[in-house]
């Protein structure tokens, strides 16, 4: 097992990784920008190295600074968390070239899944159902119009290098196509430095359902069930639950087995998530995330499996140690992402936390680096906490979530807690009756 792990991230996920390491007897190294000197994970880690100024490109995305910090402190492995360098194949390769272990899949798998066109081709070849769409990138307006006609409107134009819902545009007919194609390319170029786009059938009322998998270096693969992440705003997840209210045990087993067999065919290792859209009983692959997901705690709640611990064990060469039939699913888990944002306009609201009280009790987990007096820096993502509840039934989980939200106090900055408070009272949500567009309508209705 590793003796020392460097955590190449910040915020709640850096703390989450530190906690797993501590419980495994592994020493931790925090790296941080000058804006994060007072962060909780920096305080708790065994060692901390400042790697640069606030701007992420100069600190959390600064490969050389992170590798130097790892070398100086003698770390054996680097955990990248999510975001930042977690899906950067070059970084994973550099970590290996420096004689350390990247806690994640191989650089080749990261590269394959990082380009959405090659990812879709690989998924299809591995037996996963995909959304009907263009074969490759759409480089001319003529191609865009031809494909629009062939796929059938409405279509969605998506960035090959996409992430975080950026560079996505809907075209409802040929007239809209010209503008949508240009805008998607420009947005993709600005966000990812790569303007390549492709096209998919735009599904009208799907749910977003993703399968969590774990694979070791010796060919064993298990799935840990699904997460329903349909509640989104601007293609960003807001609240997630596991299991999905839309699936029964047979459907779960079927899609889980399909996912495992695809992962085995791909020779993938470590944790990963296969994302699908689900409509009229059919699954359609959209992408694979080759890293830990923000919403991983709901899977941990229903399976009792510590995903970060598993990632570290697998990276250290340990076998999975259990088979699919030994994975047990229990109860219902729900996660609310709490952002420092105006709950009406969603404008980020960084600042000082004047008062803080986190909820607790049976089945309640809060993953957050917040404390009273902490100053949320303005340079990073606005998610400041995740509230996760677990209950024996969905009803119990909902009652518990309402109770926990009611206890949560975050003073000094605006947060999205009021949005979650309203959401958990809504009858559609309570009935599990929602698709990926539902939350946008809910937000409009409540503004």
Whole-angstrom Cα distance, residue 227 to residue 210? 5
Is the Cβ of residue 22 or residue 437 nearer to ligand ADP in the bound state?
Answer: 437
DSSP state of 297: H
How many residues make contact with ligand ADP (CB under 6 A)? 19
Cα-based angle 431, 436, 438 (whole degrees, multiple of 5): 55
Helices 89-97, 63-73: inter-axial angle, 10-degree rounding: 30
Residue 164, interface with ligand ADP (CB under 6 A)?
Answer: yes
Residue 441, interface with ligand ADP (CB under 6 A)?
Answer: no
Residue 202, interface with ligand ADP (CB under 6 A)?
Answer: yes
Residue 131, interface with ligand ADP (CB under 6 A)?
Answer: yes
Binding mask 349-368 for ligand ADP (x = CB under 6 A): --------------------
Who's near 51: CB < 8 A, 6+ residues apart?
31, 32, 33, 59, 60, 62, 65, 66, 69
Q: How far is the CB of 89 from ligand ADP (least distance, A)?
A: 16
What are residue 93's phi and psi, to 5 degrees? -65, -45
Q: Tokens 């917040």 correspond to what residue?
A: 370
Q: 162: how many CB neighbours lie within 10 A of its CB? A: 25
Radius of gyration of the chain (CA): 21
Q: 192: how many CB neighbours lie within 10 A of its CB? A: 17
Binding mask 382-421 for ligand ADP (x = CB under 6 A): ----------------------------------------
Q: Which stretch binds ligand ADP (CB under 6 A): 41-49, 79-87, 200-208, 397-405?
A: 200-208
From residue 161, how far is each of 115, 167, 197, 278 by CA, in Å?
Answer: 5, 9, 8, 23
Cα-based angle 87, 51, 53 (whole degrees, multiple of 5): 100
Q: How far is the CB of 327 from ligand ADP (least distance, A)?
A: 25
Residue of 20, 203, 294, 423 that binds ligand ADP (CB under 6 A)? 203
Is the Cβ of residue 109 or residue 414 nearer to ligand ADP in the bound state?
Answer: 109
Is the Cβ of residue 45 or residue 161 nearer to ligand ADP in the bound state?
Answer: 161
Who's near 373: CB < 8 A, 6+ residues apart?
352, 353
Q: Does the annotation count 291 as an active-site position? A: yes
Q: How far is the CB of 269 from ligand ADP (least distance, A)?
A: 22
Whole-angstrom Cα distance, residue 303 to residue 227? 12
Residue 138, interface with ligand ADP (CB under 6 A)?
Answer: no
Residue of 4, 208, 394, 414 that binds ligand ADP (CB under 6 A)? 208
Residue of 242, 376, 436, 443 that binds ligand ADP (CB under 6 A)? 436
Q: How far is the CB of 236 from ligand ADP (least distance, A)?
A: 8
Residue 188, interface with ligand ADP (CB under 6 A)?
Answer: no
CB 10 within 8 Å of CB 29? no
Check residue 235 and give left, alpha or beta (phi > 0: left; psi -120 to 50: alpha): left
The one catalytic residue in 291, 313, 365, 394 is 291
Q: Which stretch binds ligand ADP (CB under 6 A): 16-24, 75-83, 161-169, 346-354?
A: 161-169
Is the Cβ of residue 22 or residue 233 nearer to ligand ADP in the bound state?
Answer: 233
Residue 235, interface with ligand ADP (CB under 6 A)?
Answer: yes
Q: How much helix, strand and coil, in percent to the nearest 5, is found in the chain?
A: 35, 25, 35
Q: How far is the CB of 162 from ligand ADP (least distance, A)?
A: 4
Who's near 161: CB < 8 A, 6+ residues apart?
114, 115, 116, 167, 188, 192, 193, 194, 196
Q: Which stretch binds ligand ADP (CB under 6 A): 62-70, 196-204, 300-308, 311-319?
A: 196-204
Residue of 53, 129, 165, 350 that binds ligand ADP (CB under 6 A)? 165
List residues with catalytic annotation: 291
* Residues at the interface with ligand ADP (CB under 6 A): 131, 156, 162-165, 200-203, 206, 208, 232, 235, 275, 277, 286-287, 436
């Amino acid at each position: 097992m590793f003796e020392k792990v460097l955590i190449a991230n910040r915020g709640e996920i850096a703390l989450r990784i530190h906690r797993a390491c501590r419980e495994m007897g592994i020493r931790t190294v925090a790296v941080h920008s000058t804006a994060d000197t007072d962060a909780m994970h920096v305080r708790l880690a065994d060692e901390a190295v400042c790697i640069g100024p606030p701007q992420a490109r100069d600190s959390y995305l600064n490969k050389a600074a992170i590798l130097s910090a790892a070398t100086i402190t003698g770390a054996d492995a680097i955990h990248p968390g999510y975001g930042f360098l977690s899906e950067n194949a070059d970084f994973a390769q550099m970590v290996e070239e420096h004689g350390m272990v990247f806690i994640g899949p191989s650089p080749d798998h990261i590269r394959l899944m990082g380009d959405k066109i090659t990812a879709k081709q690989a998924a299809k070849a591995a037996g996963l159902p995909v959304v009907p769409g263009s074969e490759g990138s759409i480089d001319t307006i003529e191609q865009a119009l031809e494909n629009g006609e062939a796929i059938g409107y409405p279509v969605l134009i998506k960035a090959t290098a996409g992430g975080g819902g950026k560079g996505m545009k809907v075209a409802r007919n040929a007239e809209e196509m010209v503008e949508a194609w240009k805008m998607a390319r420009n947005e993709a170029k600005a966000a990812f430095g790569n303007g390549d786009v492709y096209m998919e059938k735009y599904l009208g009322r799907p749910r977003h359902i993703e399968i969590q998998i774990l694979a070791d270096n010796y060919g064993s693969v298990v799935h840990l069930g699904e997460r329903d992440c349909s509640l989104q705003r601007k293609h960003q997840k807001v609240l997630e639950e596991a299991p999905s209210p839309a699936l029964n045990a047979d459907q779960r087993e079927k899609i889980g087995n399909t996912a495992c067999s695809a992962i085995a065919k791909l020779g993938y290792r470590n944790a990963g998530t296969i994302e699908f859209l689900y409509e009229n009983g059919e699954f359609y692959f959209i992408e694979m995330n080759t890293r830990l997901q923000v919403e991983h705690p709901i899977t941990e709640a229903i399976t009792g499996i510590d995903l970060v611990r598993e990632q570290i064990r697998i990276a250290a060469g340990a076998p999975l140690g259990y088979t699919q039939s030994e994975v047990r699913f229990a109860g219902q888990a729900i996660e609310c992402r709490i952002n420092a944002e105006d709950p009406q306009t969603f404008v980020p609201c960084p600042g000082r936390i004047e008062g803080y009280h986190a909820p607790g009790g049976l089945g309640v987990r809060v993953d957050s680096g917040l404390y009273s007096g902490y100053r949320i820096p303005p340079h990073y993502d606005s998610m400041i906490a995740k509230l996760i509840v677990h209950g024996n039934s969905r009803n119990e989980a909902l009652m518990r979530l309402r109770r926990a939200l009611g206890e949560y106090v975050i003073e000094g900055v605006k947060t999205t807690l009021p949005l979650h408070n309203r959401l958990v009272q809504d009858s559609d949500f309570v009935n599990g009756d929602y698709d990926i567009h539902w939350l946008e309508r809910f937000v409009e209705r409540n503004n």
